[in-house]
Amino acid sequence: MSSPEQFVRSPLARHAFSLLVGLTVGVFLHYLLYRLGLPIQPFIYVAF
Amino acid sequence: MTTKEIFLALRTSMVTRTVLAGLAVGFVGMCLLGRRAAHTVAHENFIRFTQYTSPESKYYPTVSEMMSIVRAKIKPGQILVVVGGNSILRGVAQTPDQVWSRKLQEKLGDGYCVVNFAFNSSLITDAASVAAEALSKEFPRQIYIANAAPTQAPTPGGSSVYRWVYWDAYYKGLLLDAPAREKKVADTIYTRIPYPDGHVVYPFRGNIQELKLAAWLDSWCYFNDFWNDVAYEDFNTVWGNLMPGLADFMQPRKNWRDPDPDGTQIPMTVRFPATTLEGELANIRGNSQYAFNKDAAGKWEIYLPLWDDVFQKGIQDIFPPALKSRTLILLSGTATYYTRWLTEDERYRDKIAYEMAVQRWKAGGFDAMEYGRDFAIEDFYDRTHLTATGALKLSGMVAPKVREMAQQLGYLPK
Protein backbone atom coordinates (compact mmCIF):
# COMPACT_ATOMS: atom_id res chain seq x y z
CA MET A 1 0.00 0.00 0.00
CA SER A 2 1.46 3.35 -0.97
CA SER A 3 1.87 5.96 1.81
CA PRO A 4 -1.04 8.40 2.01
CA GLU A 5 -0.60 11.88 0.67
CA GLN A 6 0.13 14.66 3.19
CA PHE A 7 -1.84 17.93 3.15
CA VAL A 8 0.92 19.71 5.04
CA ARG A 9 4.44 18.94 3.87
CA SER A 10 6.79 21.44 5.56
CA PRO A 11 8.00 20.14 8.99
CA LEU A 12 7.35 23.52 10.63
CA ALA A 13 3.86 23.69 9.19
CA ARG A 14 3.23 20.10 10.30
CA HIS A 15 4.19 21.00 13.88
CA ALA A 16 2.04 24.15 13.76
CA PHE A 17 -0.90 22.18 12.39
CA SER A 18 -0.41 19.46 15.03
CA LEU A 19 -0.21 22.03 17.82
CA LEU A 20 -3.41 23.66 16.60
CA VAL A 21 -5.22 20.33 16.52
CA GLY A 22 -3.95 19.48 20.02
CA LEU A 23 -5.00 22.87 21.40
CA THR A 24 -8.46 22.47 19.87
CA VAL A 25 -8.89 19.02 21.40
CA GLY A 26 -7.71 20.36 24.79
CA VAL A 27 -10.28 23.17 24.68
CA PHE A 28 -12.96 20.74 23.55
CA LEU A 29 -12.19 18.34 26.43
CA HIS A 30 -12.50 21.21 28.90
CA TYR A 31 -15.85 22.15 27.39
CA LEU A 32 -16.91 18.50 27.43
CA LEU A 33 -16.31 18.32 31.19
CA TYR A 34 -18.51 21.40 31.62
CA ARG A 35 -21.32 19.91 29.54
CA LEU A 36 -21.08 16.50 31.20
CA GLY A 37 -21.35 18.22 34.59
CA LEU A 38 -24.67 19.88 33.72
CA PRO A 39 -27.70 18.00 35.04
CA ILE A 40 -29.86 16.40 32.36
CA GLN A 41 -33.11 16.52 34.28
CA PRO A 42 -34.87 19.87 33.79
CA PHE A 43 -35.12 22.14 36.83
CA ILE A 44 -38.88 21.90 37.08
CA TYR A 45 -38.85 18.12 37.58
CA VAL A 46 -36.17 18.31 40.25
CA ALA A 47 -37.69 21.24 42.12
CA PHE A 48 -41.31 20.12 42.19
CA MET B 1 -10.20 12.02 -2.82
CA THR B 2 -12.38 9.78 -0.72
CA THR B 3 -13.23 10.64 2.88
CA LYS B 4 -10.89 7.91 4.06
CA GLU B 5 -8.04 9.35 2.01
CA ILE B 6 -8.71 12.83 3.46
CA PHE B 7 -8.53 11.47 7.01
CA LEU B 8 -5.35 9.56 6.23
CA ALA B 9 -3.78 12.65 4.67
CA LEU B 10 -4.70 14.74 7.72
CA ARG B 11 -3.35 12.06 10.04
CA THR B 12 -0.03 11.88 8.23
CA SER B 13 0.20 15.67 8.31
CA MET B 14 0.31 15.62 12.12
CA VAL B 15 3.13 14.91 14.56
CA THR B 16 1.77 12.83 17.46
CA ARG B 17 4.01 14.30 20.15
CA THR B 18 3.17 17.85 19.09
CA VAL B 19 -0.55 17.02 19.09
CA LEU B 20 -0.28 15.67 22.64
CA ALA B 21 1.77 18.67 23.71
CA GLY B 22 -0.88 20.97 22.19
CA LEU B 23 -3.61 19.03 23.96
CA ALA B 24 -1.85 19.38 27.32
CA VAL B 25 -1.16 23.08 26.77
CA GLY B 26 -4.73 23.66 25.62
CA PHE B 27 -6.32 21.85 28.53
CA VAL B 28 -4.07 23.25 31.24
CA GLY B 29 -4.40 26.70 29.70
CA MET B 30 -8.19 26.42 29.90
CA CYS B 31 -7.95 25.38 33.56
CA LEU B 32 -5.83 28.44 34.29
CA LEU B 33 -8.23 30.67 32.40
CA GLY B 34 -11.04 29.10 34.46
CA ARG B 35 -9.24 30.01 37.67
CA ARG B 36 -8.94 33.57 36.41
CA ALA B 37 -12.63 33.62 35.40
CA ALA B 38 -13.55 32.49 38.92
CA HIS B 39 -12.32 35.86 40.16
CA THR B 40 -13.66 38.02 37.36
CA VAL B 41 -17.24 36.94 36.48
CA ALA B 42 -19.00 39.73 38.32
CA HIS B 43 -22.32 40.22 36.47
CA GLU B 44 -22.06 43.98 36.09
CA ASN B 45 -24.95 45.85 37.78
CA PHE B 46 -26.14 42.65 39.39
CA ILE B 47 -29.59 42.87 40.98
CA ARG B 48 -30.61 39.22 41.32
CA PHE B 49 -30.37 35.93 39.48
CA THR B 50 -33.02 35.71 36.77
CA GLN B 51 -34.55 32.75 34.97
CA TYR B 52 -31.72 33.14 32.48
CA THR B 53 -28.95 33.02 35.06
CA SER B 54 -30.27 30.09 37.06
CA PRO B 55 -30.82 26.34 36.73
CA GLU B 56 -34.25 27.05 35.23
CA SER B 57 -32.43 27.60 31.95
CA LYS B 58 -29.42 25.41 32.70
CA TYR B 59 -27.14 28.09 34.07
CA TYR B 60 -25.49 27.04 37.31
CA PRO B 61 -23.68 29.95 38.99
CA THR B 62 -20.65 28.80 40.94
CA VAL B 63 -19.75 29.81 44.45
CA SER B 64 -16.71 31.69 43.08
CA GLU B 65 -19.01 33.57 40.72
CA MET B 66 -21.20 34.67 43.62
CA MET B 67 -18.13 35.67 45.62
CA SER B 68 -16.93 37.76 42.66
CA ILE B 69 -20.32 39.48 42.44
CA VAL B 70 -20.04 40.48 46.11
CA ARG B 71 -16.46 41.71 45.72
CA ALA B 72 -17.52 43.83 42.74
CA LYS B 73 -20.45 45.40 44.60
CA ILE B 74 -19.23 45.92 48.14
CA LYS B 75 -17.42 49.10 49.16
CA PRO B 76 -14.86 49.32 51.95
CA GLY B 77 -16.45 49.53 55.39
CA GLN B 78 -19.87 48.23 54.33
CA ILE B 79 -21.67 45.46 56.22
CA LEU B 80 -22.52 42.64 53.84
CA VAL B 81 -26.18 41.55 53.74
CA VAL B 82 -26.70 38.39 51.70
CA VAL B 83 -30.28 37.50 50.80
CA GLY B 84 -31.06 33.85 50.18
CA GLY B 85 -34.22 31.82 50.31
CA ASN B 86 -36.77 31.11 47.63
CA SER B 87 -38.74 32.90 44.91
CA ILE B 88 -40.46 35.11 47.50
CA LEU B 89 -37.16 36.75 48.46
CA ARG B 90 -35.87 36.57 44.88
CA GLY B 91 -38.69 38.99 44.20
CA VAL B 92 -40.93 37.13 41.79
CA ALA B 93 -43.65 39.50 40.48
CA GLN B 94 -41.41 42.50 41.19
CA THR B 95 -39.54 44.20 38.35
CA PRO B 96 -35.81 44.82 38.84
CA ASP B 97 -36.67 48.37 40.02
CA GLN B 98 -39.24 47.10 42.50
CA VAL B 99 -37.42 44.12 43.96
CA TRP B 100 -37.57 44.13 47.74
CA SER B 101 -33.82 43.70 48.28
CA ARG B 102 -33.22 46.89 46.31
CA LYS B 103 -35.65 48.71 48.60
CA LEU B 104 -33.86 47.17 51.57
CA GLN B 105 -30.58 48.59 50.24
CA GLU B 106 -32.16 52.04 49.89
CA LYS B 107 -33.52 51.91 53.45
CA LEU B 108 -30.27 50.63 54.97
CA GLY B 109 -28.12 53.19 53.16
CA ASP B 110 -24.43 53.26 52.32
CA GLY B 111 -23.30 51.45 55.44
CA TYR B 112 -24.62 48.18 54.04
CA CYS B 113 -24.26 46.21 50.82
CA VAL B 114 -27.31 44.06 50.04
CA VAL B 115 -26.81 41.23 47.55
CA ASN B 116 -29.75 39.05 46.49
CA PHE B 117 -28.70 35.44 45.79
CA ALA B 118 -32.15 33.88 46.28
CA PHE B 119 -33.30 31.29 43.74
CA ASN B 120 -36.74 29.93 42.96
CA SER B 121 -37.51 26.97 45.24
CA SER B 122 -34.24 27.25 47.12
CA LEU B 123 -33.89 26.66 50.84
CA ILE B 124 -32.14 28.43 53.70
CA THR B 125 -29.17 26.09 53.26
CA ASP B 126 -28.85 26.60 49.50
CA ALA B 127 -26.55 28.66 47.31
CA ALA B 128 -26.72 32.05 49.05
CA SER B 129 -25.84 30.59 52.44
CA VAL B 130 -22.84 28.82 50.95
CA ALA B 131 -21.60 31.99 49.25
CA ALA B 132 -22.03 33.97 52.47
CA GLU B 133 -20.13 31.32 54.42
CA ALA B 134 -17.34 31.26 51.84
CA LEU B 135 -17.04 35.04 52.27
CA SER B 136 -17.28 34.99 56.06
CA LYS B 137 -13.55 35.31 56.63
CA GLU B 138 -13.13 38.03 54.00
CA PHE B 139 -16.25 39.92 55.13
CA PRO B 140 -16.85 38.93 58.75
CA ARG B 141 -19.34 41.75 59.27
CA GLN B 142 -22.17 40.03 57.45
CA ILE B 143 -25.86 39.20 57.90
CA TYR B 144 -27.57 36.39 56.06
CA ILE B 145 -31.33 36.60 55.43
CA ALA B 146 -33.46 33.71 54.15
CA ASN B 147 -37.06 32.64 54.38
CA ALA B 148 -38.99 29.51 55.27
CA ALA B 149 -42.44 28.25 56.05
CA PRO B 150 -43.18 27.44 59.70
CA THR B 151 -42.25 23.85 60.67
CA GLN B 152 -39.99 23.64 57.58
CA ALA B 153 -36.48 22.51 58.52
CA PRO B 154 -34.15 22.83 55.53
CA THR B 155 -32.15 19.97 54.06
CA PRO B 156 -28.54 20.24 55.27
CA GLY B 157 -26.13 20.89 52.42
CA GLY B 158 -28.92 22.23 50.25
CA SER B 159 -31.87 21.00 48.23
CA SER B 160 -31.51 18.56 45.35
CA VAL B 161 -31.59 21.39 42.78
CA TYR B 162 -29.04 23.69 44.40
CA ARG B 163 -26.73 21.45 46.39
CA TRP B 164 -24.09 21.67 43.69
CA VAL B 165 -23.03 24.99 45.30
CA TYR B 166 -22.30 23.28 48.62
CA TRP B 167 -20.13 20.65 46.92
CA ASP B 168 -18.52 23.28 44.71
CA ALA B 169 -17.44 25.19 47.84
CA TYR B 170 -16.57 21.98 49.68
CA TYR B 171 -14.05 20.79 47.09
CA LYS B 172 -12.69 24.28 46.55
CA GLY B 173 -11.97 24.42 50.30
CA LEU B 174 -14.19 27.45 50.87
CA LEU B 175 -16.40 26.12 53.67
CA LEU B 176 -15.71 26.66 57.35
CA ASP B 177 -14.65 23.68 59.37
CA ALA B 178 -17.92 22.19 60.65
CA PRO B 179 -17.71 18.44 61.36
CA ALA B 180 -21.25 18.28 62.80
CA ARG B 181 -22.66 19.81 59.63
CA GLU B 182 -20.62 17.46 57.44
CA LYS B 183 -21.98 14.47 59.34
CA LYS B 184 -25.52 15.80 59.06
CA VAL B 185 -25.13 16.30 55.30
CA ALA B 186 -23.79 12.75 54.86
CA ASP B 187 -26.48 11.27 57.10
CA THR B 188 -29.18 13.04 55.10
CA ILE B 189 -27.85 12.02 51.69
CA TYR B 190 -27.70 8.37 52.69
CA THR B 191 -31.00 8.36 54.56
CA ARG B 192 -32.56 5.00 53.71
CA ILE B 193 -36.20 4.06 53.94
CA PRO B 194 -36.70 0.29 53.91
CA TYR B 195 -40.05 -1.00 52.70
CA PRO B 196 -41.75 -4.24 53.89
CA ASP B 197 -41.26 -5.86 50.47
CA GLY B 198 -37.50 -5.52 50.86
CA HIS B 199 -36.70 -2.61 48.55
CA VAL B 200 -34.96 0.44 49.94
CA VAL B 201 -35.42 4.05 48.89
CA TYR B 202 -32.80 6.79 49.33
CA PRO B 203 -34.93 9.98 49.04
CA PHE B 204 -32.02 12.45 49.12
CA ARG B 205 -29.30 10.53 47.30
CA GLY B 206 -30.23 11.31 43.71
CA ASN B 207 -27.22 11.98 41.50
CA ILE B 208 -24.90 12.77 44.41
CA GLN B 209 -21.98 10.60 43.24
CA GLU B 210 -21.89 12.22 39.80
CA LEU B 211 -22.37 15.66 41.35
CA LYS B 212 -19.50 15.18 43.80
CA LEU B 213 -17.25 13.85 41.03
CA ALA B 214 -18.07 16.84 38.83
CA ALA B 215 -17.44 19.26 41.72
CA TRP B 216 -14.12 17.57 42.54
CA LEU B 217 -12.99 17.75 38.90
CA ASP B 218 -14.12 21.37 38.72
CA SER B 219 -12.06 22.24 41.78
CA TRP B 220 -9.01 21.35 39.67
CA CYS B 221 -10.14 22.37 36.21
CA TYR B 222 -12.54 25.30 36.83
CA PHE B 223 -14.58 24.44 33.73
CA ASN B 224 -17.84 25.75 35.27
CA ASP B 225 -16.36 29.17 35.99
CA PHE B 226 -14.79 29.50 32.56
CA TRP B 227 -17.78 28.40 30.49
CA ASN B 228 -20.25 30.31 32.69
CA ASP B 229 -18.15 33.38 31.99
CA VAL B 230 -18.34 32.66 28.25
CA ALA B 231 -22.10 32.01 28.43
CA TYR B 232 -22.74 35.19 30.39
CA GLU B 233 -20.36 37.58 28.65
CA ASP B 234 -19.76 36.26 25.13
CA PHE B 235 -22.05 33.57 23.77
CA ASN B 236 -24.32 30.99 25.31
CA THR B 237 -23.73 27.39 24.31
CA VAL B 238 -26.40 25.59 26.31
CA TRP B 239 -29.96 25.42 25.13
CA GLY B 240 -32.74 24.85 27.63
CA ASN B 241 -36.41 25.50 28.14
CA LEU B 242 -37.31 29.21 28.48
CA MET B 243 -34.68 30.01 25.83
CA PRO B 244 -35.64 32.63 23.26
CA GLY B 245 -35.76 30.42 20.18
CA LEU B 246 -33.23 28.29 18.37
CA ALA B 247 -31.50 31.18 16.60
CA ASP B 248 -31.24 33.61 19.53
CA PHE B 249 -30.22 31.25 22.28
CA MET B 250 -26.52 31.84 21.58
CA GLN B 251 -26.80 35.48 22.63
CA PRO B 252 -24.76 36.15 25.79
CA ARG B 253 -26.96 35.73 28.82
CA LYS B 254 -26.19 39.24 30.05
CA ASN B 255 -28.27 40.52 27.11
CA TRP B 256 -31.43 38.77 28.25
CA ARG B 257 -33.83 41.03 30.07
CA ASP B 258 -34.92 40.18 33.60
CA PRO B 259 -38.40 38.86 32.74
CA ASP B 260 -40.21 39.24 36.06
CA PRO B 261 -43.37 41.31 35.57
CA ASP B 262 -44.88 44.02 37.74
CA GLY B 263 -47.35 41.88 39.67
CA THR B 264 -49.62 44.83 40.41
CA GLN B 265 -50.46 45.01 36.71
CA ILE B 266 -51.78 41.45 36.61
CA PRO B 267 -55.56 41.21 37.21
CA MET B 268 -56.63 39.91 40.61
CA THR B 269 -58.67 37.15 38.94
CA VAL B 270 -55.43 35.79 37.45
CA ARG B 271 -53.47 36.18 40.69
CA PHE B 272 -56.12 34.60 42.88
CA PRO B 273 -58.10 32.25 40.62
CA ALA B 274 -61.19 30.72 42.18
CA THR B 275 -60.27 27.32 40.76
CA THR B 276 -57.21 26.99 43.01
CA LEU B 277 -58.88 28.15 46.22
CA GLU B 278 -59.25 24.71 47.79
CA GLY B 279 -55.71 23.68 46.87
CA GLU B 280 -54.23 26.87 48.29
CA LEU B 281 -56.25 26.52 51.50
CA ALA B 282 -54.91 22.98 51.85
CA ASN B 283 -51.37 24.40 51.51
CA ILE B 284 -52.06 26.99 54.19
CA ARG B 285 -53.61 24.48 56.57
CA GLY B 286 -50.58 22.27 55.96
CA ASN B 287 -48.38 24.92 57.61
CA SER B 288 -49.89 24.20 61.00
CA GLN B 289 -52.23 21.23 60.98
CA TYR B 290 -49.60 18.72 62.08
CA ALA B 291 -47.98 21.13 64.53
CA PHE B 292 -50.77 21.25 67.11
CA ASN B 293 -53.46 18.95 68.42
CA LYS B 294 -56.60 19.74 70.35
CA ASP B 295 -56.44 18.89 74.05
CA ALA B 296 -59.38 17.61 76.11
CA ALA B 297 -60.56 21.17 76.70
CA GLY B 298 -60.55 21.90 72.97
CA LYS B 299 -57.47 24.15 73.09
CA TRP B 300 -54.56 23.82 70.64
CA GLU B 301 -51.73 21.92 72.24
CA ILE B 302 -48.22 21.79 70.78
CA TYR B 303 -47.35 18.49 69.07
CA LEU B 304 -43.87 17.99 70.51
CA PRO B 305 -42.64 15.13 68.26
CA LEU B 306 -42.82 17.48 65.28
CA TRP B 307 -41.29 20.50 66.97
CA ASP B 308 -38.64 18.70 69.03
CA ASP B 309 -37.70 15.63 66.98
CA VAL B 310 -38.19 16.93 63.45
CA PHE B 311 -37.91 20.70 63.53
CA GLN B 312 -35.51 21.48 66.36
CA LYS B 313 -33.17 18.61 65.50
CA GLY B 314 -33.58 19.47 61.81
CA ILE B 315 -32.23 23.00 62.19
CA GLN B 316 -29.42 21.92 64.50
CA ASP B 317 -26.02 21.88 62.78
CA ILE B 318 -27.29 23.13 59.40
CA PHE B 319 -24.70 25.93 59.70
CA PRO B 320 -21.37 26.20 61.46
CA PRO B 321 -22.09 27.49 64.99
CA ALA B 322 -20.36 30.82 64.38
CA LEU B 323 -22.75 31.70 61.54
CA LYS B 324 -26.06 31.11 63.30
CA SER B 325 -26.36 34.37 65.21
CA ARG B 326 -25.83 36.43 62.06
CA THR B 327 -28.71 34.63 60.29
CA LEU B 328 -32.18 36.16 60.10
CA ILE B 329 -34.96 33.73 59.21
CA LEU B 330 -38.09 35.31 57.76
CA LEU B 331 -41.23 33.26 58.23
CA SER B 332 -43.14 34.04 55.05
CA GLY B 333 -46.77 34.91 55.62
CA THR B 334 -49.79 34.01 53.56
CA ALA B 335 -52.04 36.28 51.56
CA THR B 336 -55.01 37.54 53.56
CA TYR B 337 -57.08 36.81 50.46
CA TYR B 338 -56.81 33.17 51.46
CA THR B 339 -56.53 33.30 55.25
CA ARG B 340 -59.96 34.98 55.47
CA TRP B 341 -61.42 31.69 54.16
CA LEU B 342 -60.04 29.80 57.16
CA THR B 343 -62.14 29.32 60.26
CA GLU B 344 -61.31 31.46 63.29
CA ASP B 345 -59.88 28.36 64.93
CA GLU B 346 -57.64 27.57 61.93
CA ARG B 347 -56.44 31.17 61.77
CA TYR B 348 -55.46 31.00 65.41
CA ARG B 349 -53.59 27.72 64.86
CA ASP B 350 -51.79 29.30 61.90
CA LYS B 351 -50.83 32.30 64.06
CA ILE B 352 -49.42 30.21 66.89
CA ALA B 353 -47.51 28.03 64.40
CA TYR B 354 -45.67 31.12 63.14
CA GLU B 355 -45.05 32.32 66.69
CA MET B 356 -43.73 28.90 67.68
CA ALA B 357 -41.47 28.79 64.59
CA VAL B 358 -39.95 32.18 65.49
CA GLN B 359 -39.41 30.98 69.05
CA ARG B 360 -37.82 27.70 67.90
CA TRP B 361 -35.48 29.31 65.38
CA LYS B 362 -34.33 31.68 68.13
CA ALA B 363 -33.87 28.74 70.50
CA GLY B 364 -31.68 27.16 67.81
CA GLY B 365 -29.33 30.16 67.89
CA PHE B 366 -30.74 32.07 64.88
CA ASP B 367 -32.71 35.29 64.73
CA ALA B 368 -36.19 35.14 63.25
CA MET B 369 -39.30 37.16 62.53
CA GLU B 370 -42.53 36.66 60.65
CA TYR B 371 -44.09 39.02 58.16
CA GLY B 372 -47.22 39.35 56.09
CA ARG B 373 -49.99 38.79 58.64
CA ASP B 374 -51.01 42.46 58.55
CA PHE B 375 -50.29 43.00 54.84
CA ALA B 376 -53.18 44.01 52.55
CA ILE B 377 -54.55 41.70 49.85
CA GLU B 378 -52.92 43.78 47.10
CA ASP B 379 -49.51 43.39 48.77
CA PHE B 380 -49.52 39.76 47.66
CA TYR B 381 -49.15 38.64 44.07
CA ASP B 382 -50.50 35.20 44.94
CA ARG B 383 -50.61 33.04 48.06
CA THR B 384 -47.02 33.82 49.06
CA HIS B 385 -45.23 36.11 46.58
CA LEU B 386 -45.27 39.84 47.14
CA THR B 387 -46.06 42.70 44.79
CA ALA B 388 -44.15 45.98 44.75
CA THR B 389 -46.25 47.31 47.65
CA GLY B 390 -45.59 44.15 49.66
CA ALA B 391 -41.89 44.46 48.81
CA LEU B 392 -41.87 47.97 50.27
CA LYS B 393 -43.53 46.78 53.47
CA LEU B 394 -41.17 43.82 53.82
CA SER B 395 -38.07 45.95 53.33
CA GLY B 396 -39.51 48.43 55.84
CA MET B 397 -39.80 45.65 58.43
CA VAL B 398 -36.46 44.00 57.74
CA ALA B 399 -34.27 47.14 57.63
CA PRO B 400 -34.64 48.03 61.34
CA LYS B 401 -34.15 44.37 62.23
CA VAL B 402 -30.90 44.26 60.24
CA ARG B 403 -29.69 47.41 61.99
CA GLU B 404 -30.60 45.91 65.35
CA MET B 405 -28.71 42.71 64.51
CA ALA B 406 -25.70 44.69 63.32
CA GLN B 407 -25.67 46.49 66.65
CA GLN B 408 -26.03 43.28 68.66
CA LEU B 409 -23.34 41.50 66.66
CA GLY B 410 -20.92 44.33 67.39
CA TYR B 411 -20.65 45.45 63.75
CA LEU B 412 -21.44 49.07 64.65
CA PRO B 413 -19.62 51.45 66.98
CA LYS B 414 -21.29 51.61 70.39
- Of residues B12, B18, B224, nearest to A15 (C-beta): B18
Asked if A18 and B14 come within 8 Å (Cβ–Cβ), the reply is yes
CB distance B261 to B93 below 8 Å: yes
Distance in angstroms (rounded) separating the CA atoms of residues B344 and B86 = 29
pLDDT higher than threshold 80 for residue B179: yes
ipTM computed for the complex: 0.90
Q: Rounded mean pLDDT of B63-72?
A: 96
User: Which of B2, B11, B13 to probe by mutation at the A interface, max A CB count within 10 Å?
Assistant: B13
Q: Is the Cβ of B279 closer than 8 Å to some Cβ of chain A? A: no
Q: Which of B336, B411, B318, B341 is nearest to B379 (CA)?
A: B336
Distance in angstroms (rounded) separating the CA atoms of residues B14 and B1 = 19
Model confidence pLDDT, tens digit, residues B258-268: 999 999 999 99
Chain A residues with at least one Cβ partner in B under 8 Å: 3-8, 14-15, 17-27, 29-31, 33-39, 42-44, 46-48
Task: Tell me the CB-side half-sphere exposure of residue B296, using CA atoms within 13 A.
Answer: 0
Q: Rounded mean pLDDT of B99-106?
A: 98
Model confidence pLDDT, tens digit, residues B316-349: 999 999 999 999 999 999 999 999 999 999 999 9
**What is the reported pLDDT for A40?**
76
Q: Is the Cβ of B158 closer than 8 Å to some Cβ of chain A? A: no
Distance in angstroms (rounded) separating the CA atoms of residues B218 and B139 = 25
Distance in angstroms (rounded) separating the CA atoms of residues B414 and B409 = 11
Distance in angstroms (rounded) separating the CA atoms of residues B296 and B112 = 51
Residue ranges per domain, chain B? 38-408
* Other beta carbons less than 10 A from residue A41's beta carbon: 11
Poorest-pLDDT segment among A2-6, B80-84, B188-192, B235-239: A2-6
Query: In 3-state terms, what secondary structure has residue B102?
Result: helix
Chain B CB contacts of A42 below 8 Å: 240-241
Distance in angstroms (rounded) separating the CA atoms of residues B39 and B68 = 6
Q: What is the largest CA-CA distance in chain A?
A: 63
Confidence of residue B140 (pLDDT cuts 50, 70, 90): very high
Distance in angstroms (rounded) separating the CA atoms of residues B403 and B396 = 12
pLDDT higher than threshold 70 for residue B135: yes
Q: Is the Cβ of B13 closer than 8 Å to some Cβ of chain A? A: yes
Alpha helices (H) along B109-207: 127-134, 164-171, 179-189
Asked if A17 and B13 come within 8 Å (Cβ–Cβ), the reply is yes
For chain A, report the end-to-end CA distance as a whole number of angstroms. Answer: 62
Model confidence pLDDT, tens digit, residues B225-254: 999 999 999 999 998 777 777 778 889 999
The pLDDT averaged over each successive group of 10 residues in chain A (48 residues) is 68 91 97 91 62
**What is the reported pLDDT for B206?**
80
Nearest CA in chain B to A43: B56
Chain B CB contacts of A45 below 8 Å: none
Model confidence pLDDT, tens digit, residues B35-46: 999 998 789 999
pLDDT higher than threshold 90 for residue B283: yes
Q: Rounded mean pLDDT of B288-302?
A: 92
Asked if A8 and B227 come within 8 Å (Cβ–Cβ), the reply is no
Q: Between A48 and B222, name the one with better pLDDT.
A: B222
**What is the reported pLDDT for B382?**
96
**What is the reported pLDDT for B212?**
94
Å from A1 to nearest chain B CA?
12
